[in-house]
Amino acid sequence: MKILAYLSILLALIFCIYRCNEELKGLPSNSIKQSDKKIFIIGDSTVRYDYDEKRVGWGTALIHDYMVHPNNGFNEARRGATAQSYKMMNDKIQHGKGAAYWTRTKQLIQNTPNTQGGYLLIQFGANDKIQKVPQESFVKALKSYIDEAKAMKLIPVLISPVNTRLKIKGKAYYSRGAFPFYIESVAKEENVLYLNLNAKSFKVYSQLSDEELAQKFGAIPYPNGRVDKTHFNANGAKVVAGWVKELACEQDEVLCSQFSLTERFLGSR
């Protein structure tokens, strides 16, 4: 029995080594050496959801399910954050203590070794739309993140907010208002990477029935009985994270190199 157990372990190791080699073969020749960049993510609860085990943010899934080196990923998004409020909100508002989220994120970046050439992924706009943040204030906040990221030798990446799965008369609609367009405009003006997650999510959502959306992304009820069609279950978060990876690979070879060509075959959740 012991011999069979040892053989099973040996075969599993051989299989893992084979899969790893196959995955690396598919990467560009210089990508293997560049797959060790740090990725910091800021945003709202669609990116990170810490308050309910049933819901998972796409940023969490991006790090744990797709990054070649998950330890190089830092998901610092916070529930309820707008582009402005992330600079002011802290755990005193949520839990009773702490410095402002952006201050803490900058401290984390500064205290993390070898961050130069890494990435700051920025997704705001969802709560900004809900709170009717003026365009001028929103744009100013985005530009400040871009400037500060560059000052810390990070590459800023603007991401439009993932769409909701709400429908009007059975049809999906762009639920984030004009904010994705504001983000795209800033990206063009500042000449930074832009991932149009809003358009990608809308396209997929519009092709699926309510039943299919619920099955794939979740239909978790709130305490008041209303169904959550904004956030994701674990599977939904993984799907959306896959879109982010796909969009990243269309835009930037080095950023793409931070992600495996398939979801992590060893699993890390």
Instruction: Tell me the pLDDT of the chain (269 aa) as tens digits.
Output: 555 444 555 454 444 444 444 444 444 444 455 889 999 999 999 999 987 889 999 999 999 999 999 999 999 999 999 999 999 887 654 444 567 999 999 999 999 999 999 999 999 999 999 999 999 999 999 999 999 999 999 999 999 999 999 999 889 999 999 999 999 999 999 999 999 999 999 999 999 999 999 999 999 998 898 999 999 999 999 999 999 999 999 999 999 999 987 554 433 33
Which residue in 72, 54, 51 sits closest to 62, CA to CA? 72
Which CATH superfamily is 34-256 part of?
Answer: SGNH hydrolase (3.40.50.1110)
For residues 174 and 172, what is the distance between their CA atoms, to the nearest angstrom?
Answer: 7
Domain ranges of the chain: 34-256
Q: Give this prediction's pTM.
A: 0.84
Q: Are 88 and 100 in contact (CB under 8 A)?
A: yes
| Number of helices (H), then strands (E), in the chain | 11, 7
The 8-class DSSP code of residue 65 comes to: I
Alpha helices in the chain (DSSP H): 2-25, 58-61, 91-94, 101-111, 126-130, 135-151, 179-190, 197-205, 210-217, 234-251, 253-256
